[in-house]
Structure 1
């Protein structure tokens, strides 16, 4: 039996959050009898080449700008006719929709929306083009209920066209990855508790607020703070820590390819973001067994922490509230049973099956539900 082919389009980098999720989905799609095809455009590269299954087909369009990508993808759709085309990132979504229109094919287009677009699409022209073009997609797949609400309320997308499918964050490999060694001196099993933050060092993550909150924690107890990630605010954050009087207790070791070993050895995870799509690292922290606190930002933390039942939620930008939440959780951490509650929603095998059901792709042992689904997947 020939495997149905699922084309996946994004301006892939060698690593990144979206790239990791696509790599995980490729593993699961293959296990479910579906053949993934990664479509590379505009200098895109193979994501996570050491982890991507060799069975995944790589199709490099060799395109230049957006117009060239549209023309080459149009030819691909005419000749290859995949069962469906899944896109991630705004640029790819628009290229895919324009190509489908020009190709005059019936290849269904599914657009994965990974962030709250009213925050990320700031230019009026980009917002208008998204409002117009996204209506031509067969279905938008939002990574959280908050992202879905934003699409409906701020971009005029009909509710029946937006499906919530959480990211495939919880994988069988997490148990083994937790055991990988970490050479950071603060995570060797002794010393004061270590609070961990993870993310790109940009204004979105609001790490200056996290450092201010941590300084308030340090006024009451010994603790250390590690922030994993790189980005343009690195030097500013070092200065912020020094000015707050905690320079010796804050470390920014840079980007790490896998935060799970660090999370497994920390005492507390803190998410200080101003906005998110889903906040995958918050899920990873819980899956690694690490207690967590988070800002109640749009969107994701409220859904992940189940309105505060799994971990505290605080107002965005409120350093005092975040500091108190961190102190309370360090003093009275939740049980491992509490942390694991609700993680099934993010299991990679279940998520991949939901994708195939929404896209109407039938495979070995899979009964596709077609395009009749709407709303959240529980």
Structure 2
């Protein structure tokens, strides 16, 4: 890039993942809206969704080994290159950017994208303390939901005027096409019993144990199946739980899939069983795919997405009976297809990107 970019995005990204897909979509939309973008990879980062990542974005690897090394390299970058704005994603990038800017004595404005409920994700006291000290020094914090915004204000000493809520760019123009993409799971061929779906990392946060127990109750009432997409450390525990509940034959864990939309489009019901979220993008994807949903009323996101329960039932966290009853009710009487599309304009990728650009003074 012969001249400094309008926007530099700094993040430690993987090739695949929820945050990674949102960064890829934002890059694509920023380019479409005339903004020159550079992606600065941190801590062994990779280009997200390389087959879909836009060619017009210059990618630079910071090659930092840790936070201290990252601070020095960010400072060097900001002295050499003066983007009009710097956007960070993930806690590591936010902290090295803010300290690096101070070290460089740079005036480049920094915007910190906060994707989860930090009081839940930053468990170590030193991480929480450093966030309380550093995050208020950003020019603006971008929270992915009102719940995340409230958490920043209540627990991290952030001025309410400093936090902007911008939802994730989840609804893209290609969703209708992605719904029709082929996928080979025999349970989703269209002629079997209804399939309930859960999606997420197999970790305690997602609380798939409660989903399995709720499904076991449902399975005693009617023939149905459960697919949980995702990978993680609790795979063996969840499979053991399914065997103990006597539902192993009707539960499948196929692992991580790059695009859940074609799976969701063929499911009868999506269930979010999480204990906490930032926004719960997969709920938006389910609605966009035309799939009814049941969600725990967890912080943060489901209540906002479902308009207080209007678009789908909200159930208490960890309560298998309430979840099972809500699942049975939705399967027995699915909501009208048109209802599921209400409120999705908030998550349209072009509108979300424009909101980012206005917030960062780039439009």
Q: Which ranges of structure 2 fall in alignment gaps of 5 or more residues? A: none
| 8 Å Cα contact 2:239-2:248 kept in structure 1 | yes
Give 1:181's aligned residue: 182
- Pairwise mapping of residues 333-352 of structure 1 onto structure 2 (< 5 A)? 333-352=334-353
Distance 1:182 1:175, change over 3 A: same
Cα distance in 1, alignment partners of residues 67 and 39 from structure 2: 17
Q: Which ranges of structure 1 fall in alignment gaps of 5 or more residues? A: 363-378
Tell whether 2:219 aligns with 1:218. yes
Higher mean C-alpha deviation, range 280-289 or range 60-69: 60-69
| 8 Å Cα contact 2:82-2:108 kept in structure 1 | yes
| 8 Å Cα contact 2:4-2:82 kept in structure 1 | no
CA drift at 1:41: 2.0
Cα distance in 2, alignment partners of residues 324 and 65 from structure 1: 47
Cα distance in 1, alignment partners of residues 304 and 231 from structure 2: 27
Q: Please, what is the CA RMSD of the aligned residues? A: 1.0
TM-score, normalised via structure 2 length = 0.98
Give 2:119's aligned residue: 118
| 8 Å Cα contact 2:5-2:38 kept in structure 1 | no
Q: Deviations over 1:161-182 (max 9, x none)?
A: 0100000000011111111111
Tell whether 2:226 aligns with 1:232. no
Give 2:81's aligned residue: 80
Give 2:273's aligned residue: 272
Give 1:370's aligned residue: none
CA drift at 1:329: 0.3
Give 2:63's aligned residue: 62
Cα distance in 2, alignment partners of residues 62 and 321 from structure 1: 48
Cα distance in 1, alignment partners of residues 235 and 254 from structure 2: 10
Tell whether 2:25 aligns with 1:24. yes
Structure 1 segments of 4 or more deviating over 3 A?
none
Cα distance in 1, alignment partners of residues 64 and 234 from structure 2: 33
- Pairwise mapping of residues 1-378 of structure 1 onto structure 2 (< 5 A)? 5-362=6-363
Cα distance in 1, alignment partners of residues 65 and 318 from structure 2: 41
Cα distance in 2, alignment partners of residues 46 and 229 from structure 1: 21
Cα distance in 2, alignment partners of residues 64 and 238 from structure 1: 36
Cα distance in 2, alignment partners of residues 220 and 68 from structure 1: 58
CA drift at 1:78: 1.2
CA drift at 1:62: 2.3
TM-score, normalised via structure 1 length = 0.94
Question: What secondary structure sits across from 1:219 in the alignment?
Answer: helix
Question: What secondary structure sits across from 2:232 in the alignment?
Answer: coil
Q: Deviations over 1:42-71 (max 9, x none)?
A: 211111111101110111122222111111
Distance 1:174 1:201, change over 3 A: same
The size of the alignment, in residue pairs, is: 361
